[in-house]
């Protein structure tokens, strides 16, 4: 698998957002399974719009980004994924702040299972998953699908929610709102410090 080719065909954040908007606007020729995901995609578009405005980089993140070498952040995602909607706008803010050193590129998980299957979480294709590559497309690090403290909390929340998936979604989104991207940034910083 040629990672540089995957990165070349991957979406920018703006292209990914446009893809989701087009999916919502054009519901013809969609499978029943795709249409079932539609409410989640609509919710996530709204979440991303919120985080586009609200996500703020910590001073530690700003200082660190200035010292980082150029890299490509390749993210496996899907429009229906709530964790992705809460995290990817932050990644875009980091890329923007880097002034071109970080190239954020997004791949759809279900169209890139060969890559996804190299980064399973607890045996599953959990997303978003960011894989960080240097300029020669050597892997430097990977992270995801969410902050470790949230990942640990999801199991009891799932048990509590039972079959009412909306309860889990609400709890996860409330966690992200309360956290304000602080924990995600701390984990990305720790990941970067480990590899230096």
Query: What is the per-residue pLDDT across 92-108, written as a single tens digit (0 to 9) for each?
Result: 999 999 999 999 999 99
The answer to whether 76 and 128 have CB atoms below 8 angstroms apart is yes
Q: What is the mean pLDDT of residues 33-56?
A: 96
Nearest partner of 140 among 106, 111, 102, judged by Cα: 102
User: pLDDT tier at 129 (50, 70, 90 boundaries)?
Assistant: very high
CATH code, 3-192: 3.40.30.10
Rounded to 5°, the CA angle 109-128-149 comes to: 150
Q: What is the mean pLDDT of residues 108-117?
A: 98
Q: Is the pLDDT of residue 12 over 70?
A: yes
With a threshold of 0.85, does the pTM exceed it?
yes
- pLDDT for 44 equals 98
Q: Is the pLDDT of residue 196 over 70?
A: no
CA 184/CA 126 separation, integer angstroms: 16
pLDDT digits (tens, 9 = 90+) for 156-179: 999 998 888 899 999 999 999 999
149: tokens are 């403290």
DSSP string across 30-93: --HHHHHHHHHHHHHHHHHHHHHHH----HHHHHHHHHPPPEEEEEEE-TT-HHHHHHHHHHHH
């Amino acid at each position: 698998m040629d990672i540089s080719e995957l990165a070349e065909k991957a979406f920018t954040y703006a292209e990914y957002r446009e893809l989701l908007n087009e999916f919502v606007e054009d519901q013809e020729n969609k499978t029943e399974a795709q249409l079932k995901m539609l409410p989640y995609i609509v919710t996530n578009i709204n979440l991303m719009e919120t985080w586009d405005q609200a996500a703020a980089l910590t001073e530690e993140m700003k200082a660190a980004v200035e010292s980082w070498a150029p890299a490509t952040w390749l993210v496996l995602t899907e429009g229906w994924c709530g964790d992705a909607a809460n995290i990817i706008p932050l990644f875009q803010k980091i890329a923007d702040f880097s002034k071109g050193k970080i190239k954020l590129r997004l791949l759809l998980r279900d169209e890139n299972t060969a890559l996804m299957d190299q980064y399973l979480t607890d045996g599953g294709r959990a997303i978003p998953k960011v894989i960080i590559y240097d300029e020669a497309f050597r892997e430097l690090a990977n992270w995801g699908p969410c902050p470790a403290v949230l990942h640990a909390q999801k199991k009891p929340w799932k048990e509590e929610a039972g079959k009412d998936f909306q309860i889990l979604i609400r709890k996860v989104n409330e966690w992200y709102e309360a956290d304000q991207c602080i924990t995600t940034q701390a984990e990305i910083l720790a990941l970067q410090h480990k590899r230096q």
